[in-house]
Amino acid sequence: MARLNFGDVESGLWGLQRMNAASAEDEEEIEKLIGYLKNNAHRINYKACKRGQYPSGSGGIESANKFICHVRMKRSGAWWYQINGNKMLRLRCAFYNETFDEVFARYKRLKSAKKG
């Protein structure tokens, strides 16, 4: 983890490949992790995330997705046409990002431009 946190994926892979697994199950997990890191090395830049003060885990995103999307869109008995559902999600995101006023103003400008 320390190697990955400093942005050195290759060194992290090297360390994993040198590990001695205590069991076949552990060895399988290490191999899965090695495969994941090899396939996603171009996406892993924890150092830049830390520098930009971005979260490196997905928990916050998953929680926001559940809060913003599921609570409104997956109510019992609710169903949506895809186009309307996407519009509703955009509005909910704008509300929680505190950009709703900007989004609504842009909508009104577009509507009045179409009429004129």
For residue 69, give the nearest of 58, 80, 54 by alpha carbon.
80
Global pTM reads 0.47
The residue with greater pLDDT, 116 or 99, is 99
Gap between the Cα atoms of 115 and 113, Å rounded: 5
Q: Where are the alpha helices (DSSP H) in 19-76?
A: 24-40, 46-51, 59-65, 71-73
Per-residue confidence band for 43, with pLDDT thresholds at 50, 70 and 90: confident
CB distance 92 to 72 below 8 Å: yes
Mean pLDDT on 83-108: 89
Q: Tokens 């019992």 sit at which residue?
A: 76
pLDDT given for residue 8 in this prediction: 85
Residue 86: CB atoms within 10 Å: 11
- Give the count of beta carbons closer than 10 Å to the beta carbon of residue 12: 21
Q: Which residues contact 104 (CB under 8 A, 6 or more apart)?
A: 94
Amino acid in the structure at residue 85 = G
